[in-house]
Amino acid sequence: MRVLVVEDDREMADAVAAGLRGHLLAVDVAYDGISGVERALASDYDVVVLDRDLPGRHGDDVCADLVAAGARARVLMLTAAASARDTVDGLDLGADDYLGKPFDLPVLVARVRALARRANPALPPLLRRGEITVDTARRAAFRAGRRLELRPKEFAVLELLVAAGGRSVSAEELLERVWDEHADPFTSAVKITISRLRAKLGEPDVIETVAKAGYRI
């Protein structure tokens, strides 16, 4: 799941991003409305956490821009004054949810996950392909009944490959969906993660490298 946080208070923005990353989400940050719009439209985000009072371009205008552009991302708007009128105004502009400051991180995480489920087709609780089973609710993966001890990125890559149902998933798509903006597009992170995942899955190898297309199970 990939999230964009648009918040001009750098300390809060970085704290929110760190908190979301702690819950295994890929998070990018923008500190003003103009860069927020640019980033939101340049990448395929699941959720945009959007502060309302932004410099450069007001959060209301950012929300309207995303709606007008047909962005897939769901918008969770933040405000220091979450009155009923503010909430109605934000929802009328196209925001999908509203959260007043201050807020508890677990509440924000729950709201973000709920919006992401609306942004994407719902995955079944259990994904299966051959001997591989991925429990999306428990964040657990198995091969032939044996539980796999996976790192967060390894689990996320396996989940995408199994959910693809035999379709090849490119390295670019894996980098886009699993890592955040800090990942170098020329990095070997995907290749290294695939290699570790293969080792943990064991023999026979079930991850196929498809020339010029990516990987598939």
Return left, alpha or beta for 215; rule: phi > 0 is left, psi -120 to 50 is alpha, else beta: beta
Please tell me the distance from the alpha carbon of residue 56 to that of residue 156, in angstroms, as a whole number.
35
Say if CB 1 and CB 47 are below 8 A apart.
Answer: yes
**Which pLDDT does position 213 carry in this prediction?**
85
pLDDT in tens, 53-110: 899 999 989 998 988 888 888 999 888 765 556 656 656 677 888 888 888 999 999 9
Does 119 score more than 90 pLDDT? no
Q: Which is more confident, 149 or 136?
A: 149
Domains of the chain plus CATH, in order, are 2-119 (3.40.50.2300), 126-216 (1.10.10.10)
Does 138 score more than 60 pLDDT? yes
Please tell me the distance from the alpha carbon of residue 216 to that of residue 118, in angstroms, as a whole number.
26
DSSP state of 120: S
Please tell me the distance from the alpha carbon of residue 73 to that of residue 118, in angstroms, as a whole number.
9
Amino acid at residue number 1: M
Beta-bridge mates of residue 160 = none
Q: How many CA atoms lie within 13 A of 72 on its CB side?
A: 14
Mean pLDDT in residue range 115-126? 70
**The model's pTM:** 0.63
pLDDT in tens, 5-60: 999 999 999 999 999 988 878 899 999 999 999 999 888 888 999 998 899 999 98
Mean pLDDT in residue range 178-204? 82
DSSP state of 169: B
